[in-house]
Structure 1
């Protein structure tokens, strides 16, 4: 349902929220390894997430890396999707039609409208912090192996 970019962006953001801080900035190598993503792809995704320090913050240099501010941790998951241009799942027609609407619906419009509303609610109510905490507790995973606790 989501693109690989969106999947990796969510995983990276959750990992950074879980392990990073202003005092403990994370490098691309660590993030890519932790989320099972190619390093070059992770770098491109982090570039989108750090644009204007909207979701992820970064510092260049030898002591640099990536982290989330307290304000960013409170952002809804939708902010991550928007940062990588993936909010179409919440707005577009499930069949990709340009003119799908209440007056000119596609064959799946009625069913998908309900699902889309549920997705929108989930992505707007769930915060980055919520997902990081669930990961910290071991209730969810962001890769094929559990993230080890500090």
Structure 2
């Protein structure tokens, strides 16, 4: 459902948030290792997250990526998805057709619209805080 870049972006944001709660900045190398992503690809994804003000970048010897802990609660999963993939996930055809709408639907249009609407609701109502705290508590994980 998400692009590979978006999957990595979500994982990276969660990892950065968990480390931010500990007061630790993380390097692109650490992030890439934690989310099993190529380092150069991770760097591009992190640039998009910084540009869209999801994460912050601090340069220098003690630099790295972080998220203001007061901001983690207000960041929604939809912001991360939008930063990486834009809003195509809400608008695209379930079969990938270029022309698919209410007037000219593909065979799965009506059923896919329901799924897409539920996905949009979930993304807009899931905070980064919720996901990061689930990692910290051991209720969920980023990698095995």
- TM-score w.r.t. length of structure 1: 0.88
- Could you tell me which residue of structure 2 aligns to residue 66 of structure 1? 65
Question: Runs of 5+ in structure 2 lacking a partner?
Answer: none
**Alpha carbons 1:17, 1:67 under 8 Å: kept:** yes
Q: Does 1:31 align with 2:20?
A: no
- Could you tell me which residue of structure 2 aligns to residue 50 of structure 1? 50
SS of aligned partner of 1:33? helix
- Could you tell me which residue of structure 2 aligns to residue 138 of structure 1? 138
Count of residue pairs the alignment pairs up: 143
SS of aligned partner of 2:121? helix
SS of aligned partner of 1:20? helix
- TM-score w.r.t. length of structure 2: 0.91
- Could you tell me which residue of structure 1 aligns to residue 92 of structure 2? 92
SS of aligned partner of 1:84? helix
1:22 CA drift (Å) = 9.4
**Cα distance in 2 between the residues matched to 1:16 and 1:93:** 33
**Alpha carbons 1:77, 1:127 under 8 Å: kept:** yes
Residues 133-142 or 69-78, more deviating: 69-78
Structure (1 or 2) with the greater helix fraction? 2
Deviating 4+ runs (over 3 angstroms)? none
Question: Runs of 5+ in structure 1 lacking a partner?
Answer: 146-150
What pairs with 1:95-134 in structure 2 (closer than 5 Å)?
A: 95-134=95-134
Question: 1:57 and 1:22, CA in 2 relative to 1: closer, same or farther beyond 3 A?
Answer: farther
Q: CA RMSD in A?
A: 1.6
